[in-house]
Structure 1
Amino acid sequence: MKFPSEIKPVRATRAATTVLPLPETTQNFLIRKGNKSYKHQYSNIYFLRLRSLRQSVEEAALAKWKNLSGKPVMVPRVLDVINSQLCYIIGTVYLHMPLKPNVMIDIARDHSIPPPPPPTKFYSDNDSIMLEDESGRIRLVGEVLKGKNIVTGIIIGVLGAETAEGDFKVVDICFPELAPQAFGEIDLEDAMDTDGDEWIGFVSGLEVGKTTSIDAQLQMLTEYLTGEEGGEDDQLSAAKISRLIIAGNSLAPGALAERIETPSYAERKARKKELDPKTFTPNPIYDLSAYLLDIARVMPIHILPGPGDPTGTMMPQQPFPRGIFGDASTRFSTFHLESNPAYINIASTSQPSCKRHILVNSGQPLDDMFKYLPTPPVTRLSVLESTLRWRHMAPTAPDTLWCHPYFVADPFVIRETPHLYVVGGQPEFGTNLITDETQIGRRIKSRIVLVPNFAKSGMLVVVNAKTLEVRCVNFAVDGMMTAEDDVISEETQPLYSQEEPKLAVPDFTMGSDTMDSQQD
């Protein structure tokens, strides 16, 4: 048995990737003085969205339906359809849903009675689908609609005919499909043959400041990323992680509000056990800054705000103030404060021609869209894939997802398909590789990833910048409770032999197989 003083440290060179400037065609989510106005109606966003995507849908519809025997024609305005004539129309979807929040109902209700809890799903059998443009709105009917992922705000083309009742019976649907890919066509097979690997780490939901302590998991995560934990193989694997991207909810919801309010003596007495120093931190930002400072010393960090963080709630959420994280953000130029959502372009250092276009958000758009669809059969992973084919990452904004009232352009339109599309704050891990081919024969490949809440799962997700392979590192210890439901992890195993003392240490070994299964 070797004592710690006899173990020689592993010398490994940290893998590196460089950040590339975003091209002018890529949308910037920063709200500057020129576009910071609240005088405009939200209807502008829908008109801008339709104008931006109409041509893409029209081209896709023409390619899909031009050889049909009925020779359908495109009707420019939805209210100009002719009864019983086969045609196709293009417009914006609106779902009339009785369970969806309605501000007029809230105003009219009796405020002496407590309101009912908000529903977890807006979907019901009484929903109806409308298609609208500048001329008006028409109701869509047909069995084909039941098997499609359709939410409010997407731009689609529908093939069918008007019925005697004035509805439009749909026989087929057309989406904009995948946008052209940034940096041209990629060949993952060629990337696998190159020497050297650069991985990108993704984590979400650190939730520093929870009343149930997850300090052990956070400390293990920090020590793993800095190369201070695990055996030689673990340290060599950690050295391949070139940067860390934190996708929202770094602070526990309400962690700061509890410090601002001054509870009464009775409340303090009742909460004495809950606020025990062993399970509660009175300085969540200081603690988070300390973790980030340790990591920032060895690798670049990108941090996005989330729904539980002390930032604005409207999308896009603006970056944290730089001074909030102390030395971590002021001493290191590699500490990047991102908006939510955020585009990040990186290039491999070992293979400069390998460039990746990354889109990250903290999960609010996906969480909101998921309320519009039945579960099962719809999964979160299938909805995320649909956003690429809709060419829009947050179509339910501004209907049920708060967003800034843009009046020049809709920044949530996906003009270039990202190589890597990551969403944080999800209940479970999931990933899939989306492949397609454009009309001019170019291949498109995009890796979509759902990053689970770290406070509940203890999971770090890493993606190979060259091959887009995905692996997971689970930080859990035998006998340690998770922060959410106090379930003991059964997947961890000690790294030491049976002859040595059974120390509670995490299993840092990365899985060898790429996980391409679809999960909810």
Structure 2
Amino acid sequence: MANSVPLPILDTQLERATTTVTAPSPQSSSFIIDSKNKTYKFQYSNIYFLRLSALRDFVQETAVKRWTGLPGKPSFVSRVLEVEPSKLCYIIGTVYMDMPLKPNVMEDIARDHSIPAPPPPPYYYSTEDQVMMEDESGRIQLVGERLKSERLVTGLIIGALGMETPDGKFEVADICYAGLAPQSSTTIKEESEDRMEIDNPSSEDLPTDEWIGVVSGLNIGAPSPTDGQIQLLVEYLAGEGGGTDDQLSASRISRLIIAGNSMAPMLVAGKGDVDAEGDKKSRKFGYDGTTFSSHPVVTLSGHLLDVGRVMPIHILPGETDPSGTILPQQPFPRAMFGPVSSFSSFTCETNPTYLNLSSDSLSFTRTLLVHSGQSLNDMFKYLPSPPHTRLSIAESTLKWRHIAPTAPDTLWCHPYFTADPFILKETPDIYIVGGQKRFMTKLVEDEGKDDGLRKRCRLVLVPDFSETGILVLVNLRSLRVKTVRFRGENMTGSLADGDHVDVMESSSSEPIPLVEPESSMPHSSNSSKL
């Protein structure tokens, strides 16, 4: 390359930071569909009853603390159809959003299938929406100005304070949720100076800190390739690119998490499609074999092999990946990734998944909850923006104690019969959501305290790498977050003369916009050219 500058060489050999995967907490749900649950003979309605039964007591506990002592002495009515007119009370049940724009399976069955189905709406909310609450006894409509300020989606378990109106509706004065779930005792007992590091933006990271790298949306095989961008990411993680500071920073990354959408969706040609010359494509059994290409899998496997030689990898399936579409998505078959599948440090995870990590420098274990973003993207369609953002909705899922309440209404999921695995039985230390439009993060804290320390969770939204070139790094000790961005003038392959790539770091304290943009970038503070 013309006018190239030699990279500095470190005097000492860098050692890769290490972390260890520990046994999952008894409170962590397993998303593996075992032989007992691998059946579709059960009705989906059972999930709602399981959810209500599991969360009702926690919501009632919050309601008692919140509304005891109010004027009027509200009483608890255990069944929504037993409320008395004009009597202040509170009820607990499952929210159902009656939305005209929401997909309806009965309408889909009844429509004329000779006509192509209309495209799905980009959002479900409208001025004609109605909010219902239901339990084992029946359903009642919720009304009132209080509802306009709440984030409500189908499948939530809530408590509603109010009274029945003469026309049989329930006028809501206040709403409560289950609140943050308990947090692991190994985390609660962490030292106080580590907690202070989280709240002090001027504090520096320690050279012994372990970091976790998270990336999502590689979209290998997309029409607009980002091969050069991904190659820079691989070289950075392996410590082969950048200057001395970049190599030192990369050496502290102990493992990589790939949160879904590693491969772009395959475009299957329709019947009677023609090629570029106008000739009709040959087909066998109604399928055009030329539309399939193994290139994305082969390319991804090569990158995984390069990274897998230097650090452990956890890969989750996503919406666009060749995997089952219903949640929880099951792990990829290891064999599809070639040589890297022989590494014990390479793990194919479910989506969602829990990870428990520890290290020599940590006196406690960190619990990570990771998913590829389908549930958050679906909930975002229920709510207008502004005032709601993806970050605020993700924060609410912690307080709802449920990460996918819209399943199975508008989000496909497995018809569980014995338990709802999407219920949060414990608050994770780090909650990572992939497949988002932009990088966003927040430290969520509980108003209450456990053993003198508040429950805390670092919430991280990871954007598509193919759109932003962003790698997110999370400090396991302090829960601080930074991003590294890879970009250049020509990102479709090897760098040409005159091209440059910026590796940029940004703090986690960016202001959150009121409106969710379709495509935006987080601001960055420091940059260095490779």
Question: Equivalent residue of 2:102, what SS?
Answer: coil
| Inter-partner Cα distance in structure 2 for 1:2 and 1:152 | 57
Residues 12 and 396 of structure 1: is their aligned pair in 2 closer, same or farther, counting only changes over 3 Å? same
1:126 aligned residue: 128
1:415 to 2:407 alignment: no
* CA deviations over 1:89-138 (Å, ceiling 9, x no partner): 00000010000111222222333443322110100010000000001000
2:311 aligned residue: 299
AA at the equivalent of 2:301: S
**Deviation of 1:284 (Å):** 1.1
> Is residue 79–residue 136 contact of structure 1 (8 Å, CA) maintained in 2?
yes
Question: Equivalent residue of 1:386, what SS?
Answer: helix
Question: Equivalent residue of 1:424, what SS?
Answer: strand
> Is residue 7–residue 243 contact of structure 2 (8 Å, CA) maintained in 1?
no
**Deviation of 1:8 (Å):** 5.6
1:189 to 2:193 alignment: yes
AA at the equivalent of 1:171: A
AA at the equivalent of 2:221: G
**Deviation of 1:224 (Å):** 0.4
| Inter-partner Cα distance in structure 2 for 1:270 and 1:453 | 35
1:510 to 2:521 alignment: no
User: Size of the alignment, in residue pairs?
Assistant: 489
Question: Equivalent residue of 1:475, what SS?
Answer: strand
Residues 166 and 291 of structure 1: is their aligned pair in 2 closer, same or farther, counting only changes over 3 Å? same
Written as runs of structure 1 = structure 2, the 5 A alignment for 1:59-78 is 59-78=61-80
| Inter-partner Cα distance in structure 2 for 1:64 and 1:145 | 18
TM-score, L = length of structure 1: 0.89
| Inter-partner Cα distance in structure 2 for 1:162 and 1:184 | 44
Give the % identical residues. Answer: 55
Question: Equivalent residue of 1:169, what SS?
Answer: strand
| Inter-partner Cα distance in structure 2 for 1:321 and 1:505 | 37
* CA deviations over 1:359-403 (Å, ceiling 9, x no partner): 000010001001111111110000000000000000000000000
Residues 6 and 482 of structure 1: is their aligned pair in 2 closer, same or farther, counting only changes over 3 Å? closer
Question: Equivalent residue of 1:100, what SS?
Answer: coil
1:308 to 2:320 alignment: yes
TM-score, L = length of structure 2: 0.87
AA at the equivalent of 2:256: L
2:357 aligned residue: 346
**Deviation of 1:481 (Å):** 5.6
1:355 to 2:350 alignment: no
| Inter-partner Cα distance in structure 1 for 2:66 and 2:119 | 44
> Is residue 187–residue 366 contact of structure 2 (8 Å, CA) maintained in 1?
no
AA at the equivalent of 2:250: A
2:225 aligned residue: 213
Of 451, 457, 470, which aligns to 2:462?
Answer: 451
Residues 10 and 267 of structure 1: is their aligned pair in 2 closer, same or farther, counting only changes over 3 Å? farther
> Is residue 449–residue 455 contact of structure 2 (8 Å, CA) maintained in 1?
no
AA at the equivalent of 1:267: D
Deviates more, 1:58-67 or 1:441-450: 441-450
Written as runs of structure 1 = structure 2, the 5 A alignment for 1:172-321 is 172-182=174-184, 183-185=186-188, 186=190, 189-190=193-194, 192=197, 196-254=208-266, 266-269=274-277, 283-321=295-333
| Inter-partner Cα distance in structure 2 for 1:482 and 1:86 | 64
Question: Equivalent residue of 2:302, what SS?
Answer: helix
Residues 143 and 67 of structure 1: is their aligned pair in 2 closer, same or farther, counting only changes over 3 Å? same
Question: Equivalent residue of 2:499, what SS?
Answer: coil
* RMSD over equivalenced CA pairs, Å: 2.5
* CA deviations over 1:171-222 (Å, ceiling 9, x no partner): 0001111111123424573264966111100000111111222110010000
**Deviation of 1:463 (Å):** 0.6
2:83 aligned residue: 81
| Inter-partner Cα distance in structure 2 for 1:301 and 1:509 | 23
> Is residue 217–residue 466 contact of structure 2 (8 Å, CA) maintained in 1?
yes
Question: Equivalent residue of 1:508, what SS?
Answer: strand
Question: Equivalent residue of 2:446, what SS?
Answer: strand
Written as runs of structure 1 = structure 2, the 5 A alignment for 1:345-494 is 345-351=356-362, 353-438=363-448, 442-477=453-488, 479-480=489-490
| Inter-partner Cα distance in structure 1 for 2:405 and 2:38 | 21
**Deviation of 1:296 (Å):** 0.4
| Inter-partner Cα distance in structure 2 for 1:263 and 1:18 | 53
| Inter-partner Cα distance in structure 2 for 1:18 and 1:373 | 39
> Is residue 197–residue 240 contact of structure 1 (8 Å, CA) maintained in 2?
yes
Question: Equivalent residue of 1:249, what SS?
Answer: coil
| Inter-partner Cα distance in structure 2 for 1:230 and 1:151 | 45
1:140 aligned residue: 142
2:288 aligned residue: none
- Following TM superposition, the consecutive aligned residue runs of length 4 or more in structure 1 with deviations greater than 4 angstroms are 1-10, 191-195, 261-264, 439-442
Show structure 1 runs of 5+ residues with no match: 272-279, 484-493, 495-500
AA at the equivalent of 1:461: V
> Is residue 228–residue 492 contact of structure 2 (8 Å, CA) maintained in 1?
no
Question: Equivalent residue of 1:382, what SS?
Answer: helix
AA at the equivalent of 2:483: C
Question: Equivalent residue of 2:142, what SS?
Answer: strand
Residues 241 and 269 of structure 1: is their aligned pair in 2 closer, same or farther, counting only changes over 3 Å? farther
| Inter-partner Cα distance in structure 1 for 2:192 and 2:408 | 37
| Inter-partner Cα distance in structure 2 for 1:14 and 1:345 | 19
Deviates more, 1:152-161 or 1:186-195: 186-195
